[in-house]
Amino acid sequence: MSDTAPAKSRRLHAVVRGSVQGVGFRATTFDEARRLGLAGWVRNRVDGTVEVLAEGPEPKLNLFLGYLRRGPLGARVAGVLEDWLEEQGAPIPFQVKRTE
């Protein structure tokens, strides 16, 4: 029996609050998701938050969530509302979507 079973893929839906628009949050989130090999998307929302949907191995999603809690230089993250779900087939490769 092996201890090297592949990590379970999951879906992370997150809404990032704070001073997170106009500071390169979407672009750096895109770069981080691509670096980690995640599927999904990021977009600004009209309420001033940034919304993220990402799918991939849970350990990589946890690293990604750590990034979302920090954000890029210039951002001030007040909090991240996170929801963990079963993987459902997010867009590949990771995308930047239009504001909604």
**CATH code for the domain in which residue 21 is found:** 3.30.70.100
Whether 88 is covered by a domain: the verdict is yes
Residue 59 has pLDDT above 80, yes or no: yes
Name the active-site residue from 44, 45, 62, 76. 44
Residue 3 has pLDDT above 80, yes or no: no
Q: Is 26 a catalytic residue?
A: yes
Whether 19 is covered by a domain: the verdict is yes
pTM recorded for the entire structure: 0.91
Whether 37 is covered by a domain: the verdict is yes
pLDDT per residue as tens digits for the range 62-82: 999 999 999 999 999 999 999
pLDDT of residue 89: 85
End-to-end CA distance of the chain: 48
- CA dist., res. 15 & res. 50, Å (int): 6
Whether 2 is covered by a domain: the verdict is no
Nearest Cα to Cα of residue 12 among 49, 42, 45: 42
Residue 1 has pLDDT above 70, yes or no: no
Domain count, the chain: 1
Range picked from 3-7, 34-38, 96-100 for highest mean pLDDT: 34-38
Whether 16 is covered by a domain: the verdict is yes
Whether 100 is covered by a domain: the verdict is no
- CA dist., res. 11 & res. 88, Å (int): 7
Name the active-site residue from 10, 26, 35, 69. 26
Q: 21 or 2: whose pLDDT is higher?
A: 21
pLDDT of residue 49: 98
Q: Which two tokens stand for residue 96?
A: 């930047």
- CA dist., res. 71 & res. 69, Å (int): 6
Nearest Cα to Cα of residue 73 among 22, 34, 38: 22
Q: What residues make up the domain containing 30?
A: 9-92
Nearest Cα to Cα of residue 52 among 1, 91, 3, 5: 91
The position carrying tokens 């990021």 is: 42
Across the chain, mean pLDDT equals 93
